[in-house]
A and B are shown apart, each in its own frame.
Chain A
Amino acid sequence: MKMPIISDEQVNTKCAFCGQPIPAKRIEGLRSEILGMQVADVLLCSEACYALSKTYTRPSVERETVKT
């Protein structure tokens, strides 16, 4: 992502697959440039996430509340 942003804004830039924060490199003063891997319209943190995102089926979010 080439758009320079204020460094505090970048801390909420996270991998679209795993959620890991994606670091940004400082380019000047308070501005920085997001690192990471742009695939189509999503930003991923790594090749591993890209590979897994193609095969992994996410669990359903809503569940019965169970407890041992």
Chain B
Amino acid sequence: MTERVDPVTISVIRGSLISLCTEIGVAMERTAYSTILSEGQDFSVAIYDKDSELVAQAAFDPSHLGAMAFAVGSAIKEIGKENLREGDVLLNNDPFRGGTHLHDFTVIKPIFWRDAIVAIPAVRAHQIDVGGMAAGGNAGEATDIFQEGIRFPPTKIISEGREVTDVWKLWLSNVRLPKAIHGDMRSLLAAVDIADKRIIELIKKYGLETFQESATQIKNISESMMRNEISKLPKKRAYFEDFMDDTGTRSEKVRVCVTITINGNDLIADYAGSSSQTQSPINATYAVTAASTYIAVLQMLSQDWLGVPPINQGMFRPIKVIAPPGSFVNADYPSAVFGGNVEVSMRLIDAMLGALVQLVPVAKTKAACYSTNQGLACGGKNLDGKPYVWYLYREGGWGANATSDGKSALFCNSSNCKNQPVEIFEARYPWLYEHFSLNEDSGGPGKYRGGLGTIMLMRLLAPEAELNGCADRFTNSPFGIFDGLPPKPTECGHWSDFRVRLRDSKNWKHVTELFDKPSPSKWSRVTLHKGDLIEHITTGGGGFGNPLERDHSRVEKDIIDGYVTIESARRFYGLKRSADNRSHQKKSRRK
């Protein structure tokens, strides 16, 4: 083994691997069939070393990236390296084998050099349908994993370069859109093939020993960076708890609590005391809880780093996650887990941020973001009679920090996913956007204001459609910090919200009233008809600092821009009548 590889070569190999991950991602984006991948970018790519440790990733979905190593490691160990051959490709979507939820398919291709595995590229992508009780998943009322869809333990889908056709036939016979799924999977397979080609090129250029030693050093450097940041924190414990509205099947709140212990240059996040696992999809697997913990730590501790943070397994080594088995942050098989990766993860991040606020300097802290995926899945027949399935997530407001207002209309804190454009959406599906705007007054008041959520109204144009929802933060608000306030709720007392207005009605109603569902935010199999309208609202982020300390010129600008109402300016920011009259006149002129 090479004793030492020079830092420049290590840096070049690191850059090449990150660049490779980006190239793979672009290839997937351009070749995928479903809008959730081609537009929404709900996928991730990463390179693992021969020991299944993360070496490089591109800036795609953090909730995937932190969790994917568990799925890769589990698959390689379960099948055994001695049973793998050049040209094999594995699939693993099992939440209980290192996965998150069934929709996240991880495709793994061990790369061989002279008959030995030398690297393992993997891609994870949200599949638009996995069968189960609800079109597009999102089965808000599921009570076990079997209702959620098809589960693949680590499975060879390509064996020595050839498709294992029986597996594909079994699989595609159990989903609603086999053509789209097959198309999306071809893009995943193309992605790992590109990785295979590029990694072999790197090994030919630098030699295997240099490549592998560089991978080791890349991880060690990141570990040092993270340990250095943790060592600056006070050696004490910090506790925080937050809640989820309900489980979808029961109305009780679900508690997530975390105790952070700084032990030298190790950070231990212990979720002891969190609620027991639920008989609903509001459960997380260990991989989700670990990834959420990593995300929160990175958000708080990597702010001083220049350039792209070298995120890899080394960075996670100093972070120990303790998640009690049988709790909803580490649910046992065969729990339903769809909501783990889309809703529980955000509350885990919120709890972690709340605890870290007590440990990091004030300048690095920030309030909670809107923290709900606001997932909505729909299935039906298009105007031409062909079946379709879509899955939408909604952007909302981020929390304010010590120097600036929160960002508005961004995707949640666990993901880098993108908005699926209105034009693409309307061209593909029988739905019409009737309204899409920022949600005025939804930012938590503070010296620095929380970012704003959004309001979307959409009308069904086809005869019938089935909707499924999985969301949260309806009855339990995001939090502000240092006297910053939570966002203001909507008129009905919810923060984020979902309502329906039937074609012949003038009244907006929740699914609890219209369809007798136990929860307004988590439900499945609601049937709508042509002309029915849906309203999808996200709340904003929490405020930072006392709102009475906010510069009144900024409040006036917020009124003019339509971010804050005059009523709220008076109530929360103490704006005088003369000032708000002036703002009102300017706003009227602008209109």
Chain A residues with CB under 8 Å of chain B are 7-8, 11-12, 14, 17-21, 23-26, 32, 35, 48, 52, 56, 58-63, 65-68
Q: Is B324 an interface residue (CB 8 A)?
A: yes
Q: Is B273 an interface residue (CB 8 A)?
A: yes
The total of interchain contacts (Cβ-Cβ below 8 angstroms) comes to: 91
B residues near A58, Cβ cutoff 8 Å: 270, 272, 322
**A35:B325 contact, CB within 8 angstroms:** no
Bound state CA distance, A25 and B96, in angstroms?
14
Query: A68 with B481: in contact, given A11-B97, A19-B324, A56-B268 (CB under 8 Å)?
Result: yes
**A21:B98 contact, CB within 8 angstroms:** yes
**B241:A63 contact, CB within 8 angstroms:** yes
Bound state CA distance, A48 and B321, in angstroms?
12
A23 to nearest B CB, angstroms? 4
A residues near B375, Cβ cutoff 8 Å: none
Query: A19 with B323: in contact, given A58-B270, A67-B479 (CB under 8 Å)?
Result: yes
Bound state CA distance, A24 and B237, in angstroms?
35
A residues near B272, Cβ cutoff 8 Å: 58-59, 61
Query: A21 with B97: in contact, given A12-B332, A67-B479 (CB under 8 Å)?
Result: yes
Bound state CA distance, A67 and B239, in angstroms?
10
Q: Is B333 an interface residue (CB 8 A)?
A: yes
A16 and chain B: residue at smallest CB distance: B325
**A21, A24, A58: residue with the most chain B Cβ atoms closer than 10 Å:** A21
Q: Is B178 an interface residue (CB 8 A)?
A: no
Query: A11 with B94: in contact, given A32-B78, A58-B270, A67-B242 (CB under 8 Å)?
Result: yes
**B77:A23 contact, CB within 8 angstroms:** yes
B303 to nearest A CB, angstroms? 21
- Give the interface size class of chain B: 35 or more
**B270:A59 contact, CB within 8 angstroms:** yes
A56 and chain B: residue at smallest CB distance: B268
**A23:B239 contact, CB within 8 angstroms:** no
B residues near A11, Cβ cutoff 8 Å: 94, 96-97, 333
Bound state CA distance, A35 and B73, in angstroms?
12
B357 and chain A: residue at smallest CB distance: A68
**B257:A23 contact, CB within 8 angstroms:** no
User: When the two chains form the complex, which single residue of B324, B333, B354 contacts A12, counting CB atoms closer than 8 Å?
Assistant: B333
A residues near B324, Cβ cutoff 8 Å: 19
A residues near B79, Cβ cutoff 8 Å: 26
Bound state CA distance, A19 and B70, in angstroms?
13
A residues near B480, Cβ cutoff 8 Å: 68
User: When the two chains form the complex, which single residue of B240, B270, B286 contacts A21, counting CB atoms closer than 8 Å?
Assistant: B286
B401 to nearest A CB, angstroms? 15
A residues near B242, Cβ cutoff 8 Å: 67
Q: Supply 16 further A-B pairs (C-beta < 8 A) apart from A12-B96, A48-B320.
A: A19-B322, A19-B325, A21-B96, A21-B285, A25-B77, A32-B78, A52-B268, A58-B270, A58-B272, A59-B270, A60-B273, A61-B273, A67-B479, A68-B240, A68-B479, A68-B480
Q: Is B153 an interface residue (CB 8 A)?
A: yes
**B78:A23 contact, CB within 8 angstroms:** yes
B167 to nearest A CB, angstroms? 16
Q: Is B100 an interface residue (CB 8 A)?
A: no
Q: Is B421 an interface residue (CB 8 A)?
A: no
Q: Is B330 an interface residue (CB 8 A)?
A: yes
Bound state CA distance, A48 and B462, in angstroms?
57
Residues 259-273 of B, flagged 1 when their CB comes within 8 A of A and 0 if not, give: 101010000101011
User: When the two chains form the complex, which single residue of A18, A25, A52 contacts B80, counting CB atoms closer than 8 Å?
Assistant: A25
Bound state CA distance, A45 and B459, in angstroms?
51
Q: Is B278 an interface residue (CB 8 A)?
A: no
| A-contacting residues, B253-292, CB 8 Å | 255, 257, 259, 261, 263, 268, 270, 272-273, 285-286, 290
A68 and chain B: residue at smallest CB distance: B479
Bound state CA distance, A52 and B96, in angstroms?
25
**A62:B286 contact, CB within 8 angstroms:** no
Query: A63 with B257: in contact, given A12-B333, A21-B74, A48-B320 (CB under 8 Å)?
Result: yes
A36 to nearest B CB, angstroms? 10
**B333:A23 contact, CB within 8 angstroms:** no
**A62:B273 contact, CB within 8 angstroms:** yes
B270 and chain A: residue at smallest CB distance: A59
Bound state CA distance, A59 and B261, in angstroms?
9
**B73:A59 contact, CB within 8 angstroms:** no
Query: A26 with B323: in contact, given A21-B96, A67-B241 (CB under 8 Å)?
Result: no
